[in-house]
């Protein structure tokens, strides 16, 4: 049996979610925009899902827009808000550890003539609030800070950030894709004006996500040419996906209180054993203010992709921020941002635990990892 | 991104040949890839103008290890002149292909080989003369 420790990349579809989706992949195939009853029945189901989601995440129902996933939502929100609010200004701030779908989109906006600032983070992965305060201006339209980082699991103080951001009349966007169910989200209470997420990060299907746009905000659509989502996002409703997203979200928060201590205990046990049994390893980031399922570890003297491949041949699936694993051969800018030296950037493995992991799997992984690290270190030239 | 390694690459990664450092080597050389941070360290033993032994150490990904392993296997026994002509395409061919963004690993391995041979020649200048004659390799013996 494979051991899946890459739940921040994607998760296994929950069978209960699949069951909820199935009717909409077969008999209930109507287009939720169609006028006839096959379509309109699905329209009712769609709007119920939207209300269910709003109840859990605490935003206004009409603010939830279904998309293909968080990457689309991030693109839509960054580009759409900046384009539609030029009367306020052309300045946008994003954190230095944002997901590429925010980071690269900000860079692309820069080329279009917008002014982009990057908010630094401290070595524990926390946004530097003093720096943010200094960077904020009257013409800052949007600030984007992710709730939980995908690589090091650092959890941001969203309430404090929102407060600062609103002081200049700036909108606050948070990519909450890694935060389900690790944070209790109440968009309105927390002062989050805009948010993005994907269903597949919490045992829902791939290819569906949400953009939250607080009603009343001006935004331009990214995909136009249809009246779906009040014209904010054209394209036939992905009803099986939307039903899957809503069901996965409901399960995630219903089971949250039982899940969080369980996964934290497993993660802490894993880290304690590794510290004891493998020399020359370090935790990237801070163990506090970190999502309960994340470990990002530096294994001295050896390269991350080699560790990953060695584990993969043993049926253990993890992830790395090393340059060798990246398409552009660039190492993780997140690890750079939290202060890792260049020579340390390629020796890191991310373990992201999830709902289905067991202690037995962790024990097996520790044994395998000890062997892997020993083997690769035996012929490392690094002194 | 396709990062599918061939079975042969995985095998060479899991069971690399010629790893380590040669005792009393005739030359050693380190190379590093500025782009991805990979490093290779070669040591070599030459006798009678031929590569008698070659070993390597690696800080690198699976294909870095696999390509260096294949290279050492292929050049062992070659004359210095023959080894200098050894190209990265031979490694890629031997492994049955490499993912496009991993081809540079084979180039780093060849760069390391070139460097260790150059270091050897610098330390053994007499052989530079024979190198000139290598156009007819048979005479080198």
Nearest to B60 by CA among A341, A324, A377: A324
pLDDT digits (tens, 9 = 90+) for B9-33: 999 999 999 999 999 999 999 999 8
- B5:A309 CB<8 A: yes
Please answer yes or no on whether B20 and A379 come within 8 Å at the CB atom: yes
Chain B interface mutation, best of A100, A300, A309, highest count of B Cβ atoms under 10 Å: A309
Contact call for residues B5 and B63 (beta carbons, < 8 A): yes
pLDDT at res. A160: 98
Q: What distance in Å separates the CA atoms of residue A271 and residue A288, rounded to the nearest whole number?
A: 13
CB spacing of B1 vs A329 below 8 angstroms: no
**Rounded percentage of chain A residues whose pLDDT exceeds 70:** 100
The chain-wide mean pLDDT, for chain A, equals: 96
Residue with structure tokens 């206004």? A60
Tokens 């948010």 appear where? A195
User: Token digits for A331?
Assistant: 């190492």
Q: Which residue of B has its CA nearest to A346?
A: B37
CA distance B135 to chain A (A): 35
Q: What is the ipTM of this complex?
A: 0.90
Is B61 annotated as catalytic?
Answer: no
Across A123-150, b (16+ Cβ under 10 Å) vs e yields eebbbebebbeebbeeebbbbbbbbbbb
Instruction: Note whether A325 contacts B37, CB cutoff 8 Å.
Output: no
Contact call for B62 and A329, based on CB within 8 A: no
Pairing, β A3-4 against β A316-317 = parallel
Name the percent of chain A lying above pLDDT 90. Answer: 95
Each residue of B34-50: pLDDT tens digit? 777 899 999 999 999 99
Does B13 touch chain A if contact means CB atoms closer than 8 Å?
yes
How would residue A95 be classed by pLDDT, with cut points 50, 70 and 90? very high
Q: State whether residue A87 sits within 8 Å of chain B by CB.
A: no
pLDDT at A201 over 90: yes
Q: For B30-47, b where at least 16 C-beta lie within 10 A, e where not — what string?
A: ebbbeebbbbbbbbbbbe
Asked whether the predicted pLDDT for residue A369 surpasses 90, the reply is: yes
Are B59 and A381 inside 8 Å of each other by CB? Answer: yes
Residue A376, CA distances (Å) to A30, A139, B62 in order: 55, 52, 10
| pLDDT tens, position by position, A100-113 | 999 999 999 999 99
| pLDDT for position B126 | 64
| B10 at A interface, C-beta within 8 A | yes
> What pLDDT sits at residue B141?
41
Is A381 in the B-facing interface, judged by CB distances under 8 Å?
A: yes
Per-residue pLDDT at A323: 81
Cα–Cα nearest to A74, from A102, A54, A99: A102
> What would the pLDDT profile of A124-165 be if each residue is shown by its tens digit?
999 999 999 999 999 999 999 999 999 999 999 999 999 999
Mutation choice for A interface testing from B56, B61, B112 by most A CBs within 10 A: B61
Residue of B nearest to A312 (CA): B10
**Nearest C-alpha in B relative to A331:** B36
Q: Which of A317, A347, A378, A381 to mutate to test the interface with B (most CBs of B within 10 A)?
A: A381
């Amino acid at each position: 049996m494979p051991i899946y420790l890459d739940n921040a990349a994607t998760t296994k579809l929950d069978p209960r979610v699949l069951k909820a989706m199935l009717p909409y992949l077969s008999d209930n195939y109507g287009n939720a925009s169609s006028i006839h009853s096959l379509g309109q029945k699905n329209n009712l189901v769609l709007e119920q899902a939207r209300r269910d989601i709003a109840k859990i995440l605490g935003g206004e129902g009409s603010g939830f827009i279904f998309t293909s996933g968080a990457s689309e939502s991030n693109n839509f929100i960054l580009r759409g808000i900046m384009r539609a609010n030029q009367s306020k200004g052309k300045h946008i701030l994003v954190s230095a550890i944002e997901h590429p779908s925010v980071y690269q989109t900000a860079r692309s906006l820069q080329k279009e003539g917008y002014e982009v600032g990057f908010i630094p983070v401290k070595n524990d992965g926390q946004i530097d609030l003093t720096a943010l305060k200094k960077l904020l201006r009257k013409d800052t339209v949007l600030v984007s800070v992710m709730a939980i980082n995908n690589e090091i699991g650092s959890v941001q103080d969203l309430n404090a950030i929102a407060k600062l951001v609103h002081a200049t009349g700036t909108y606050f966007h948070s990519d909450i894709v890694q935060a389900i169910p690790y944070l209790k989200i109440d968009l309105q209470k927390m002062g989050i004006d805009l948010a993005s997420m994907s269903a597949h990060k919490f045992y829902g299907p791939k290819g569906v996500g949400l953009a939250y746009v607080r009603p009343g905000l001006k935004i331009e659509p990214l995909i136009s040419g249809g009246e779906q989502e009040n014209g904010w996002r054209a394209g036939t409703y992905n009803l099986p996906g939307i039903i899957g997203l809503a069901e996965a979200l409901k399960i995630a928060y219903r089971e949250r209180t039982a899940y969080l201590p369980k996964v934290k205990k497993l993660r802490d046990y894993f880290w304690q054993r590794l510290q004891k049994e493998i020399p020359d390893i370090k935790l990237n980031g801070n163990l506090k203010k970190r999502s309960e399922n994340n470990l990002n570890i530096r294994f001295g003297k050896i390269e991350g992709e080699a560790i990953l491949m060695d584990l993969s041949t043993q049926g253990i699936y993890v992830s790395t921020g090393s340059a060798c694993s990246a398409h552009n051969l660039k190492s993780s800018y997140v690890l750079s941002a939290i202060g890792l030296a260049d020579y340390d950037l390629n020796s890191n493995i991310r373990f992201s635990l999830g709902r289905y992991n067991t202690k037995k799997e962790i024990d097996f992984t520790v044994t395998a990892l000890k062997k892997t690290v020993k083997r690769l270190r035996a012929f490392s030239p690094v002194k | 991104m396709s990062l599918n390694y061939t079975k042969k690459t995985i095998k060479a990664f899991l069971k690399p040949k010629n790893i380590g450092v040669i005792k009393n080597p005739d030359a050693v050389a380190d190379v590093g890839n500025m782009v991805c941070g990979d490093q290779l360290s070669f040591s070599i033993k030459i006798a009678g103008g031929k590569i008698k032994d070659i070993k390597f150490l690696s800080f690198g990904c699976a294909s870095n290890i696999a390509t260096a392993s294949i290279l050492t296997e292929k050049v062992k026994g070659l004359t210095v002149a023959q080894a200098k002509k050894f190209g990265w395409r031979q490694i890629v061919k031997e492994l049955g292909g490499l993912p496009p963004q991993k081809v540079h690993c084979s180039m780093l391995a060849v760069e390391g080989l070139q460097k260790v041979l150059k270091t050897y020649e610098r330390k053994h200048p007499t052989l530079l003369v024979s190198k000139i004659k290598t156009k007819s390799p048979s005479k080198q013996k």
